[in-house]
Structure 1
Amino acid sequence: MSEPVNPDQPVTPADALTLLLAGNDRFVAGDRQHPNQDADRRAAAATGQRPFAVLFGCSDSRLAAEIIFDRGLGDLFVIRTAGHVVGAEVLGSIEYAVAMLDVPLIAVLGHDSCGAIAATLDSIAEGTSPPGFIRDIVERVMISVVPVRDLAVKDPGLAVTEHIRYTADTIIERSALIAERVKEGRCAVVGLSYRLAEGKASLVTRLGV
């Protein structure tokens, strides 16, 4: 089934969020439509792309964006890092999608049982650092986790939520281009928390929509 976005009718941030969450609802209900995954869409997308959302999520293998949001070719501009940590390459990729492709929505996707969050909490509790470049991931996650570390011992989900909020805020704070688009109402940033067992992505923060 092909469901192209009409380039003559730009999608608003609110429209994009509705599309994204509707796809997740279908996934949760087991009623996926597999839109934009046919030969016609493949041919149309070969000449250009018009994604309606940036999906910046954790690299966890259980968070395949097009599957859990029931989308297809050309729908989502996907960027993933362990623990959805933000670096220059991530910001540059998001800015490209916003500036060059006019994407109206940036969705940060975190999840329960996140290995990066768990490693960070362990590092804080034990006073140790992980080896190699894993340390860099933990250090970036730690900034958002430290303020809630005492409560997160009993409720790791709190650390997940705080890190999602921190990531969404950081994208706007560090990118003048994105901040300006949000101020103009042309783009929005949302944070979503995904439950692995249920498959549900829930809003935890919304900026500009």
Structure 2
Amino acid sequence: MNSEDTPLRPSGLPPAAATRTRFGAARPARRGFLRAGLTGAAVLGTGVTLGAVPASGASRGTSRRPSTPQEALRELTAGNERWRTYREKHPDETPAVRQTLTSGQHPFAVVLGCVDSRVPPELVFDQGLGDLLTVRTAGEVLDEAVLGSIAYGVLELEIPLVLVLGHQSCGAVRAAVEADISGEELPAHIQYLADQIAPNIDRAKEGDARVDSTIDANIRAVHARLAAEPDLAAKVSAGQLAVVGARYELSDQHVHRLA
């Protein structure tokens, strides 16, 4: 880890960047259609509660969900602390919550993470059904489908936080680094992933240190690209969104902020 790394916690929002839109401004009629057709207009329009909260505290209502970037970061931080100290609550899994979610969703964070089976966001942050909108690709690689999925969460579901979550010992990053060294072509579509990660390789380091440093560089690069997306940047500028880069350590299950 670099000396500048800090625990995942609320802080100043990332600056807005760029002015040209990739996704284009959503027209009111189309936005209304998407909300009604894919999430349930009632949930987005009125903030319907996700069922009663049982005495065990294993679920929470929509009215208690994080609604600002700072609140969303605090919730993820608290959830990760529960996870790493074996005090998980496993929230929002009750029959009442499951039934309520048939009519819509109101997640409070988008998590772009790696496909690695050791880093499932709902477990790492001790969240449940309807809490996170998760998008997972090897090495957090971006493409139009991923960008569109994130934009959907921010623009249509009005999610206040986008978290780019990389992790220690990322196999996709290692494959990209090793292919860069050997010059060998990787199988089929895996080469595409390596090509996307390659610009972020830290060639100033050697061996495992190169892989580890590249993991951080890749997280920061993906974060920077998302923060520069005009539609997201506009939300950041308005104080309605934070785009954050973070890293999960397999060794101690801790998530700390990089960007």
TM-score, shorter chain, exceeding 0.5: yes
Aligned length: 201
Q: Which deviations, in whole Å up to 9, do the C-alpha atoms of 1:60-88 show, x marking residues without a partner?
A: 01111111110001100000001110000
Which whole-Å CA distance do the structure 2 matches of 1:153 and 1:159 have between them?
11
Q: Are the aligned partners of 1:60 and 1:82 in contact in 2 as well (CA < 8 Å)?
A: yes
Contact 1:109 1:192 in 2 (8 A): yes
SS of the aligned residue for 1:196 comes to coil
Is the counterpart of residue 196 in structure 1 residue 253 in structure 2? no
**Counterparts of residues 1-209 of structure 1 (less than 5 Å):** 1-6=58-63, 11-145=67-201, 148-151=202-205, 153-155=207-209, 156-173=211-228, 175-205=229-259
Alpha-carbon distance in structure 2 between the residues aligned to 1:191 and 1:12: 17
Flag the 1:180–1:198 CA change in 2: closer, same or farther, 3 A. Answer: same
- Superposition deviation, residue 4 in structure 1: 2.2
Question: 1:97 & 1:27 partners in 2: Cα distance?
Answer: 25
| Alpha-carbon distance between aligned partners in 1 of 2:128 and 2:111, rounded to the nearest angstrom | 13
Q: Which has the higher contact order (CA 8 A, sep 6+)?
A: 2
**Matched position secondary structure for 1:118:** helix
SS in 1 for 2:205: helix
Amino acid at match of 1:131: P
Give SS of 2:96's match: helix
**1:144, 1:49 → 2: CA distance?**
35
Name the Cα RMSD after superposition.
1.4
Distance in 2 between the 1:63 and 1:10 partners?
A: 23
More strand by percentage: 1
Contact 1:11–1:52 (8 Å) recurs in 2? yes
Larger of the two Rg values belongs to structure? 2
Which residue in 1 is equivalent to 2:45? none
Identity %: 36
Query: How much has 1:199 moved relative to structure 2?
Result: 1.1
* TM-score normalised by structure 1 residue count: 0.92
Counterpart secondary structure, 1:150: coil
Q: Gaps spanning 5+ residues in structure 2: where?
A: 1-57
For residues 165 and 101 of structure 1, the distance between their equivalents in structure 2, rounded to whole angstroms, comes to: 25
Note closer, same or farther for the CA distance 1:112–1:152 as it changes in structure 2 (3 Å cut): farther
Structure 2 counterpart of 1:91, one-letter code:
L
Give the equivalent residue in structure 1 for 2:48. none
Query: What are the ranges of 5 or more consecutive residues in structure 1 without an aligned counterpart?
Result: none
Does the aligned pair in 2 maintain the 1:178–1:187 contact within 8 Å?
yes
Please report the TM-score for the alignment, with normalisation by the length of structure 2: 0.75
Q: For 2:208 and 2:101, locate their aligned partners in 1 and report how far apart those are by CA, in whole Å.
A: 47
The answer to whether the Cα contact below 8 Å between 2:245 and 2:257 also exists between their aligned partners in 1 is yes
